[in-house]
Amino acid sequence: MDNRDEVRAFLTSRRAKVSPEQAGIPAYGSRRVAGLRRGEVAALAGVSVEYYTRLERGNLAGASDSVLEAVARALRLDDTEATHLHHLARAAGPTPVRARTRRDKAPEIRPAVRHVLDSMTGVPAFLRNHRFDILAANPLGLTLYSPMVAASPALPVNSMRFSFLDPHAQAFYPDWAQVARSAVAALRIAAAQHPDDQQLMNLIGELSMRSEPFRGWWATQDVFVHRHGTRRFRHPAIGELELAYEGFELSGDDNLTLLTYSAVPGTPSGDGLELLATWDATSESAPAPVPRLT
């Protein structure tokens, strides 16, 4: 894959974020643009200006791990950004045979994973892939995400399309701008890890064409990984909930991630989650048991 534009945009955007004062170097002369000069990054990384210029122009092919780590230190990248730089470098090389042959293969969910999902009765739980398709969910998960799954008769449903293209998304997420921006940053991570995935690239293209906020946040080159945190929801039947989420990567299962939401018992959100479970069990419109991929 020719990812030179991605590399160029990422390195340029990170360089613009670092001031000479932050880098601990004197700021000589006037600066036409924000951040460090290429020569300053090269000096901090211990490489020649010519070599760093080649990297920033998008040619990461053949860059060693030590060089990438030196550039990451010079640009003051955090762990997520540094990992993203390594992913971009790997994508600049030859496409692995495994990626070419499996990119269109339908995801497979092992029976044991489905059993774990079904057994998690006290918390909303979901299984998603790297394209942010919700592939399966337990009943409480479907009830929590009822605004998302309402438009689709069966899973999978794509949470990115819901966040940016569904008119109900901003009401469902009280902190929509924060949720949506972090979603874009997470999608950029996925794109670097799976540069050969045409379905993923089509999704990015669709969102870029149809959503102005997506286009703006995509251009920032920010990266983010959903590992854990809190998220607020405004459920149409229950009201506001503030839930803690955890993401568990099933590394041996074709890039699947198990997501769970929970709340401390006795808190307003804990009581709300119990009420959601009761509503799920008693409502005639409650979702059916965990959908299966067809």
Residue 25: give its domain's CATH number. Answer: 1.10.260.40
Helical (H) or strand (E) element with 125: strand 125-128
8 Å CB contact between 134 and 155: yes
Residue 207: give its domain's CATH number. Answer: 3.30.450.180
> Do the domain assignments include residue 234?
yes
Count the neighbouring beta carbons within 10 Å of the beta carbon of residue 87.
20
Convert the pLDDT of each residue in 245-259 to its tens digit.
999 988 777 788 999
Question: What's the pLDDT band for 95 if we cut at 50, 70, 90?
Answer: low
Q: Which residue has the higher pLDDT, 280 or 11?
A: 11
Expressed as residue numbers, the domain containing 9 is 4-94
Average pLDDT over every residue of 226-238: 91
| pLDDT given at position 93 | 67
Convert the pLDDT of each residue in 165-199 to its tens digit.
999 999 999 999 999 999 999 999 999 988 889 99
If asked whether residues 238 and 154 sit together in one domain, one would say yes
Convert the pLDDT of each residue in 262-292 to its tens digit.
999 999 999 999 999 888 777 644 444 444 3
Last residue of a domain, one of 66, 94, 122: 94
Q: Find residue 240's DSSP bridge partners.
A: 234
| pLDDT given at position 283 | 65
Question: What's the pLDDT band for 122 if we cut at 50, 70, 90?
Answer: confident
Report the chain's terminal Cα–Cα distance, integer Å. 31
Question: What's the pLDDT band for 112 if we cut at 50, 70, 90?
Answer: confident
Count of domains for the chain: 2
